[in-house]
Structure 1
Amino acid sequence: MKNKIQTAYKKSPVFIQNLLISAYGFYWKSRRLGGVFKTHVNEFKRREKFTKDQWREYQTKELRKLLAHAFDTVPYYKKLYAEHGFGPEDFKKFEIEDLKKLPCLEKEELRKYGTTTLLSTKRKKGTFLSSSGSTGTPIKAFFTKEAHQIWSAAYEARIRNWAGVDHTMSRGMIGGRRILPDADAKPPYFRKNYAEKQVYFSAYHLSPETASNYLKGIKDSQLDYMVGYAMSNYLLAEFIEKKELQAPKLKAVLTSSEKLTQEMRSTMERVYNCKVYDAYSGVESCGLISENSHGELLFSPDTGIMEVVDDEGKDVAHGDAGEVISTGLLNFDQPLIRYRIGDRVKLSKNQETVSGLHMPKIDEIEGRTEDVVTAKDGRKMVRFHGLFVDIPKLVVAQLIQNTTEDYTINVVVEDGFSRLEEEEMKKRLCSQVGEVSVQFNQLKEIPRNKNGKFRAVISKVP
């Protein structure tokens, strides 16, 4: 059914594609913004006034509930914690500091067991969302409607509202959805989701020559703000500026998914005459870092418990950087406890905030860096995780651009992986960058760079 709809979409004229996207948008709007959404937006706002003691009390209470629930209803944790000598009585008096007594959950475990033993046996009907993110490891996160609404409420209260916008305003989105199936697609390079007052721009057709069409989409729909990939939004702003085009003033630009540099921020603020707000989370939704109007990056303690640790697993001091280990407090249907996300942050040395909020303050979100790939026709693009999602037997993958016409895909696979999977990945790549040659290397392990960070996309093209 899904493939039939995609085929019909690809063959349809633009106005029919807009209607199909709007129908899909209506479904997602009701799923995310219905039910308990408004109630939880108010709850997230109410908790912003918490003191440090109130936050600790809240997190401790939620953590104990989560651990007891996980032990009782999630087979993976019941077996794991029993093997480590923990039982239901231990979780009744569990403290946040005790988390380090529990083993970490690796991405590989989530990949292996995320659709089976990592799910609660008492879960309601839900949906799996797929991603490989910046780690190259394909994973599936499970959400019921209610869990999705709660997470959407966190996004509304702590990302949109902190930036002075909300979900009722018109917005432009540059993200990973393939709204234009072909690399050589003609303008317009955007489609309209009337149900959510959203214009969805292609992340895979950005170039100085196409910038004017993107700008037309922004102007004609009188967009209030832009959201999406940090690098893609920056590239669009850079091309608009280089072409000496005039962009309208926006209320905000909300970026995510990649590291936001000062140059990127300055360019977007100059072009759109508004502030840029950075944020960090992930499809797993087990923690949220967002920027407020004072430019402070704050971790929301009601979305999860964030540990920032050194190579030995010890908490780093304020002012130092470390690996993020997160315990999500919002999704009890697929609990992620001491989950190694694969990213790093630097804690602020001075934890006092100008805003007066008692939330952990972050100086920098490290990592999240992928190279920009340049197609043969000059288009610039990032975020190739769509190549790897839902590929059977794929453990981890890495894309390397050797030249504009030659690519290498390194893969770590399980038994049963075949040429059919390789052909599917090549087909997906060519649909984004055009016809190119692709060599596959099956490895036991994909090398990391000197600082130990995995790079999912590497480009050797200047």
Structure 2
Amino acid sequence: MNVFDLSLKLNGFPIKEARRTLTSIQDLQEIDFNNYVEAKKHAIVQYHLKHNAFYQSLFKETDHTSWDAVPILTKQDLQQPLNKRLSEGFSEKNVYVNKTSGSSGDPFVFAKDKFCHALTWSVIQDRFGWHQLDFNNSVQARFYGIPLDTKGYYKERFKDVLSKRHRFSVFDLSDAAFEKHLDTFKSIAFDYINGYTSAIVQFAKFLRQRDLILKTICPTLKACLVTSEMLFEDDKRLMERYFGVPVINEYGASELDLIAFQNQNSQWVVNSETLYVEIVNEENQVLPYGEEGRVVITSLYNKAHPFIRYDIGDIGVLSEESTVQKPLLQKLIGRTNDMAVLPSGKKAAGLTFYYITKSIIEDDGNVKEFIIEQLDLQTFKVFYVSASALTVNQINLIKKEMEHYLEKDLQILFERQDQLKRSKSGKLKQFSSLLNHT
């Protein structure tokens, strides 16, 4: 019995119709596909200009004469009650309503019409199928957070049952917790692991410490899918070695859709069927493939709420090998609000600090995980969890490398902790700047 599909249908989400639509899009030849995208871009703008007062107000004096004339929508634009942003004919009673995690610093409530939400699930199911994973039948080991309020907790637990998921807490990453996880993997025939990158990396480090390969313990395991946080190449290699299965990188946003998903050739394929993805510079000009800029996304099907040329807050690069039908995400660099500002006025991606520190302090396996905060223009603090404190040599080497890659006279502080603070959802933010909140 296809319990997951049935649950969508019972909640009013037309999954069969959505699946047929997705298949018809995927069957298009290249020229027809390009025409399809142009038509859908024009149609969704015209729809919201006609039926959505909130979207009409964004255009102001700008005419819809070309795609470049369509304004870029920011998260700050959405910081107003949902009922003021919905299109005619839609209310909170007849749409799918949810809220973003707020990991970008700008949480908000959003909506999708029911067909659009069904399409989202159709795309997810399609991509999982690339790796022989089936939402209705495959058993998932889920490394995610969970709401702590009673209603939210039991709602997620019920969804876990429907989706054949066993949830592992990301709030307890102790060896004792991981020992219990191992027992669970011995007793349940999991098909795949799915969840937050940082927590799953810690489980892989635990396996390395025990010199264990997870697939020998759970032979049914086929893959590991990571999401919501940055995946670094050395962490991917670590997981693949100690899990014994391929690691697949997923990039999505709850308010939009699945944005990109790795195929079996390790290409990060962008969802071009229901989304239109652009990379733009600081002047909002579209950049050619291969150049780095802000990720701007249009939801081609959401009639309930406009997400048109929506600045998601990420920085990325589309590969030069991209086409309209098959865009490829070459690199996801981080969030626009995670830029470090240095005393000289120079800006650097916050993850630069993370990369430098990571290359030094994780070599011997002593440090389990760490995060970096910018306290002021000159001061950065490394919070870390480890078996023993960092040595003077390690600290001096980190400071030296910071100066080499960035600039001199930075103050680098270190604080060892028993565990790191995670967001309410359980995500771990590798770099954050307090300058963004002052």
Structure 2 length as normaliser, TM-score? 0.69
Change (3 A) 1:281 1:322: same
By how many angstroms is 1:318 displaced?
2.3
Counterpart of 2:334 in structure 1 is 367
Structure 1, unaligned stretches of length 5 or more? Answer: 1-24, 182-189, 373-377, 383-399, 405-427, 434-444, 449-453, 455-462
Find 1:447's aligned residue among 430, 435, 438: 435
Distance 1:429 1:270 in 2: 26
Shift of 1:50: 3.3
Residue 192 of structure 1 deviates from its aligned partner by 9.4
Percent of counterpart pairs with the same letter? Answer: 21
Q: Residues 8-407 of structure 1 correspond to what in structure 2 (within 5 A)?
A: 29-30=7-8, 35-81=13-59, 83-86=60-63, 98-113=66-81, 115-123=82-90, 125-158=94-127, 160-168=128-136, 169-178=138-147, 193-247=160-214, 248-249=218-219, 250-285=221-256, 288-351=259-322, 358-367=325-334
Partner secondary structure for residue 305 of structure 1: strand
Q: Distance in 1 between matches of 2:277 and 2:244?
A: 34
SS in 2 for 1:288: strand
Question: For 1:115-169, what per-residue CA distance to the aligned partner results, in whole angstroms no more than 9, with x for missing partners?
Answer: 13221121251242122443111111213443322211111112x1122211021
- Output the CA distance in 1 between the equivalents of 2:174 and 2:368: 5
Structure 2: segments with no counterpart, 5+ residues: 151-156, 339-350, 358-366, 372-380, 386-420, 427-432
Q: CA deviation at 1:285?
A: 0.9
CA contact (8 A) 1:204 1:379 kept: no
Which moved further from structure 2: 309-318 or 296-305? 309-318
Amino acid at match of 2:327: P
RMSD between aligned residues? 3.6
Q: 1:53 to 1:142 in 2, by over 3 A?
A: same
* One-letter code aligned to 1:325: V
What's the counterpart of residue 344 of structure 2? none
For 1:414-453, what aligned pairs fall within 5 Å after superposition? Answer: 447-448=435-436
Higher relative contact order, structure no. (Cα contacts within 8 Å, ≥ 6 residues apart): 1
CA contact (8 A) 2:226 2:249 kept: yes
Q: 1:68 to 1:48 in 2, by over 3 A?
A: same
- Is the 8 Å Cα contact of residues 288 and 299 (structure 1) preserved in structure 2? yes
| CA positional deviation for 1:308 | 0.4
The answer to whether the 8 A contact 2:145-2:424 is kept is no
Work out the CA distance in 2 between the residues paired with 1:43 and 1:27: 16
Q: Deviations over 1:305-327 (max 9, x none)?
A: 11101222222232221111111
Alignment partners' CA distance in 2, 1:236 and 1:120: 45
C-alpha separation in 1, matches of 2:382 and 2:98: 27
Number of the residue aligned with 1:18: none
Asked if structure 1 preserves the Cα contact closer than 8 Å seen for 2:144 and 2:169, the reply is yes
Q: Is the CA contact (8 Å cut-off) linking 1:303 and 1:329 kept in structure 2?
A: yes
User: Alpha-carbon deviations, 1:73-94, whole Å to 9, x = none?
Assistant: 211112232x2243xxx5xxx6
**1:401 to 1:429, Cα distance in 2 relative to 1, 3 A:** farther
Can you list the C-alpha shifts for 1:352-386, whole angstroms capped at 9, x where unaligned?
A: 7xxxx9411121122158889xxxxx99699xxxx
